Amino acid sequence: MDDDDFRFMDFKEIIKNLIVKDISPGMPEAIDRLFMDIANINRESMADIQDTQIEEMAVNLWNWAVTRNVGLLISKEQKAKLRHVACKLLCMCDDTAATEEVIHRRILMTMKTGKGWVDVGNAVMADEFFQAALTGLEQLYAKIMERSCSETQLTMQKLAVERNLFKVYSYQAESAIAQDDFQRASTCAMRCKDMLARLPKMAEYLHILCYNFGVENHMLNKYEESCYWLSQSYDIGKTNKNSVDPEMLAKVLRLLATVYMHWDDREYHDKALSAVNLANKEHLNPAGIFLKIKILLKGETSNEELLEVLMEILHLNMSLDFCLSITKLLMDNERELVGFHFLKIISDHFKSPENMGRALVVHIDILLQRKEELFAQEKIEEVIRGQQTGRPLATELVGYLHNILWKKASKSFEAHNYTDALCWYYYSLRLYESGKMDMEFSKLKRNMASCYLHLNQLDKAKEAVAEAEQLDPGNTFTQFYLFKIAVLEGNSDKALQTIAILENLLTTETAEGNDPIRDTISPATLFGLAAQFALENGQQLAGEKALEYLAKYSEDTEQIITALKCLFRLLVPKVSEMPESENKKKETDRLLVCLNRVHLKFSQTLFGKDSTSASWINEAHWFRKIAWNLAVQSHREPVTMREFFILSYKMSQFCPSDQAILIAQKTCLLMAASVDLQQGKKAATPSEQMKFLNRALEQIHKCRDIWNVLKETGDFSNDPCEILLILYEFEVKAKKNDPLLDNFLDSMWHLIHFESKALETIATLAMEMPAYYPSIALKALKGALLLHKRKESFDVMKYSHCLHNLINLLVPGGVPSAELCPLEEVCGYFEDGLNLICHTEGYPEVEILWLMMMSWNIGIYMYGRKKYVATEKWCGLSVRFLDHLGSLRSIYETQVNVLYSELVDTLNKNKSSVFREE
């Protein structure tokens, strides 16, 4: 059966399958089901099962629950639940005829079940089972007393009952403590204590139990209850010294003394002192001596009394470290006179050089903590003389003293007392033996260099850093100080070089500690400090680079945004003033990278948020405008301009969509699409061109959505956006050879705001490679000519240009395209042009010349096709154009007239050919 089927079984089936399957992933679910169901099960609901069967079921479930394999797979709470169910089943059976064995089993099961509930923190549930165990014990005792047996057997059996009764009372005490019922807990414990005369072997157990109660109450600051339990623990242990070790008794008494001291060191001072003295009599221990001194210091003990106690300590052969800890305790409690006197006694008492050195170093530490700096300096000089005269400190003591001196120097550094900090660092420097340099020495030199920098002693700082670099060149702080020195010297190249090295180090190694800036430092923090230092000292290039690194490596979004804003404030004005050059392009690309980082951080921070705070909106506006301005400045670099416009659009998406933002978004997308279309024209391969066209189309669609929303916010009749979108989309579709291009055009021809220029642009795009749609171009140019004629202020120049394009489309290279337009219609366009020339001033002479030559070429083409009537017609038309030439007429008149006369003569000779024309 599958594990999930446990939920479809009844109570008895679950027990059976649990025991049979032994280990199953569905065990926890089955146990919970049993525990919930047992509350609703009684003997009547299981009337179909005999008592023996129920008892067997309960015992089997109990035994299964406590087996080792199962016990490792289920929690203590689940085990408690299983025991609970087993007990409940067993208690359903009729107990009027129960044997002693059955009663004894019930007692053990109820005791262990109750204890299990206590252990998992459910004391209320446990009490029911403890009460059942007591009832069972009474029943068992009665059974024992009823039957006849020897006096010895009876005594043994009564003792067995009493041992179980002792356990139940102790468990009830634990339950009461868990429920914060001191009265019940003490009552149960006292019952156990009264039974110790008959059960002496249980003394140690009860002694430990009361001690644990004392510890728990002390942790909860219940001093009175804690003192009660600890006193009981001591009393029980004292009366049963054979069972309880003296060390444990001393431990109980020390805790009792501590509780008295914490409770009220004035009222209970004598009791605390009495307890600790008794503890030390039971078992002398350094902890007890220390506690005694602590208690004495809490009271009004005189210095003389303290000294007497301290002298006793020396006779107890305590270690030097212990004596030094006592000295520190005295100092911490404002007993300097006694402390220093005891320290002198210690120094005289412990004669070995190592012990004397340790005492001396501790003495220095204490003097510095007490701000006895002059005395401390005398002791330090004593140590240094010893180092130089063959009485050196042990290596670990030298390190300890270094730490003391550095800690003192660090405090002076933090207080901006750099001269004093140097004094203590100098002592540390003198402790180094000649030639024994290590990494700590390089730290020391860096720390000294930092002090020199703050004191404007640049030469000394350079010297100190040079020594540090020689020993540890790959250290981040070494490079940081080299950077600071380069900045102070005004050496921009060196500053940039060192911060680049610093960037490499910070991204590959963990920053060291123990420097005066801070023990540990993140790359972002160090770059922030570098940027601030460089800018404060007029080194803008180094400051810019540090800000750039700060934005790159910081994990704090607000810090990144602030750093980039500062960087843009520095770079943008500088870049805008630079002449066009490779360097300007490099700086512009740098700004582009930074803006992309800004957008990434905005996206990561605001992703999934329904609303944006005012501060973030303001920041987005700021960067949007920066991107826009940079786009405008980059008009000579279309690709870069496009990137800035796209970034301006992206940043605007974090701003509320009011009319101004929609207009800006529309413009950004239009400009980006325009650049992509231009890039598509320059593409080296079809696939590259397709990439640009697809990208442009995506921007066109976004822009159209924005435009549709924007039109609802006001009057935009003079905005060319819609025309541009149509033109851009037409260009993409035409160059992609979109089969639905005609459908697209059908939906736009009717637009009343289409102008002749737009139609002419469509005509050009329709014929621009790789597009080739002459029919569309023809329709667009025809519409453009018609619009030109309808205009109130007729522009003859624009008309002539449009006519030129139309005729050039219909007669490419002087060869009429009959597929596009009949020749008669083509001739009509020439006649329209001639008519306009006759009645309008200002028609471009070059265009008249072009029309003349084009009509002549068509005539010659007809002549070649032996269509002589058409030839005479077209050539005659050419001569008519000649009559309207101005300054150019004298150049072409003679030649054209001669050619025309010759052509007419030839045509007259071939009149018969007229009849063969179609």
Q: How far is CA 704 from the centre of its chain?
A: 37
Whether 509 has a pLDDT exceeding 60, the answer reads no
Helix residue spans in 389-512 (DSSP H): 395-414, 418-431, 439-454, 458-471, 476-488, 492-506
What Å distances lie between residue 693 and 108, 247, 447, 729, 766, CA to CA? 86, 89, 61, 9, 15
Any domain includes 875: yes
Average pLDDT over residues 462-480: 90
Residue 215, C-beta contacts closer than 8 angstroms, at least 6 positions apart: 226, 255
> Is the Cβ–Cβ distance between 759 and 744 less than 8 Å?
no
What Å distances lie between residue 239 and 215, 226, 234, 275, 611, CA to CA? 21, 20, 9, 17, 74
Average pLDDT over residues 318-336: 79
Lowest mean per-residue pLDDT among 25-39, 271-285, 537-551 = 25-39
Lowest mean per-residue pLDDT among 252-256, 325-329, 374-378 = 325-329
Confidence tier at 918 by pLDDT (50, 70, 90): very low
Domain boundary residue, one of 276, 300, 324: 300
The one-letter code for the residue type at 748 is: M
- Torsion from C-alpha of 253, 255, 258, 259, nearest 10 degrees: -100
pLDDT tens readout for residues 236-267: 999 877 778 899 999 999 999 999 988 986 78
End-to-end alpha carbon distance in the chain: 98
Is there a cis peptide before residue 28, judged by omega within 30 degrees of 0?
Answer: no
Any domain includes 469: no
**Distance between CA atoms of residues 302 and 529, nearest Å:** 54
Task: State residue 66 phi and psi, 5-degree precision.
Answer: -100, 5
**Distance between CA atoms of residues 233 and 439, nearest Å:** 55
Confidence tier at 484 by pLDDT (50, 70, 90): very high
> Is the Cβ–Cβ distance between 446 and 478 less than 8 Å?
yes
pLDDT tens readout for residues 68-90: 556 567 788 888 998 999 898 88
> Is the Cβ–Cβ distance between 537 and 487 less than 8 Å?
yes
What Å distances lie between residue 489 and 495, 501, 503, CA to CA? 9, 18, 21
Domain boundary residue, one of 284, 300, 316: 300
Q: Average pLDDT over the chain, rounded to whole?
A: 85
Whether 8 has a pLDDT exceeding 70, the answer reads no
Provide the pLDDT for residue 328.
Answer: 83
Domain of 852 in residue numbering reads as 805-917
Tokens of 28: 């926890």
**Distance between CA atoms of residues 885 and 850, nearest Å:** 11
The one-letter code for the residue type at 181 is: D
Residue 391, C-beta contacts closer than 8 angstroms, at least 6 positions apart: 353
Rg (the chain; Cα; Å): 52
> Is the Cβ–Cβ distance between 141 and 158 less than 8 Å?
yes
Domain boundary residue, one of 300, 323, 341: 300
Q: How far is CA 666 from the centre of its chain?
A: 34
> Is the Cβ–Cβ distance between 662 and 709 less than 8 Å?
yes
Confidence tier at 561 by pLDDT (50, 70, 90): very high
Any domain includes 830: yes
Is there a cis peptide before residue 770, judged by omega within 30 degrees of 0?
Answer: yes
Let me know how long the chain is: 918
Under DSSP, the state recorded for 197 is G
What Å distances lie between residue 151 and 138, 155, 507, CA to CA? 20, 6, 86
Quote the number of domains for the chain.
2
Residue 495, C-beta contacts closer than 8 angstroms, at least 6 positions apart: 483, 486, 487, 534, 539, 541, 542
Buried b (16+ CB within 10 A) or exposed e, 544-568: bbbbbbbbbbbeeeeebbbbbbbbb
Residue 342, C-beta contacts closer than 8 angstroms, at least 6 positions apart: 307, 310, 323, 326, 327, 330
Percentage, residues of the chain above pLDDT 90: 42
Any domain includes 635: no
Provide the pLDDT for residue 352.
Answer: 61
Whether 5 has a pLDDT exceeding 60, the answer reads no
What Å distances lie between residue 520 and 421, 511, 516, 525, 763, CA to CA? 20, 7, 10, 10, 69
Under DSSP, the state recorded for 517 is S
Any domain includes 61: no
> Is the Cβ–Cβ distance between 679 and 693 less than 8 Å?
no
Place of tokens 């944006």: 612
Any domain includes 833: yes
The CATH number linked to 243 is 1.25.40.10
Closest C-alpha to 174, from 132, 202, 133, 206: 206
pLDDT tens readout for residues 733-743: 989 888 888 88
Provide the pLDDT for residue 917.
Answer: 45
Place of tokens 């019930």: 106
Neighbours of 330 (CB within 10 A): 24
Provide the pLDDT for residue 290.
Answer: 85
Q: Please, what sign has the CA dihedral across residues 804, 809, 810, 815?
A: positive
> Is the Cβ–Cβ distance between 881 and 855 less than 8 Å?
yes
Residue 846, C-beta contacts closer than 8 angstroms, at least 6 positions apart: none
Closest C-alpha to 833, from 860, 805, 812, 858: 805
**Distance between CA atoms of residues 731 and 725, nearest Å:** 10
**Distance between CA atoms of residues 337 and 797, nearest Å:** 111
Provide the pLDDT for residue 423.
Answer: 94
Any domain includes 324: no
Closest C-alpha to 224, from 162, 189, 267: 267
Tokens of 354: 């190592």
pLDDT tens readout for residues 587-633: 999 999 999 999 999 998 887 776 678 889 999 999 999 999 999 99
Q: How far is CA 620 from the centre of its chain?
A: 21
Confidence tier at 12 by pLDDT (50, 70, 90): confident
Provide the pLDDT for residue 436.
Answer: 64
Place of tokens 């005999």: 50
**Distance between CA atoms of residues 102 and 143, nearest Å:** 12
Closest C-alpha to 832, from 806, 856, 862: 806
Under DSSP, the state recorded for 578 is S
Lowest mean per-residue pLDDT among 13-27, 568-582, 626-640 = 13-27
**Distance between CA atoms of residues 531 and 546, nearest Å:** 5
Confidence tier at 787 by pLDDT (50, 70, 90): confident
The one-letter code for the residue type at 241 is: K
Closest C-alpha to 236, from 275, 199, 210: 210
Any domain includes 846: yes
Closest C-alpha to 484, from 507, 512, 465, 510: 465
> Is the Cβ–Cβ distance between 83 and 112 less than 8 Å?
yes
Closest C-alpha to 205, from 244, 177, 179, 239: 244
Tokens of 318: 């305590």
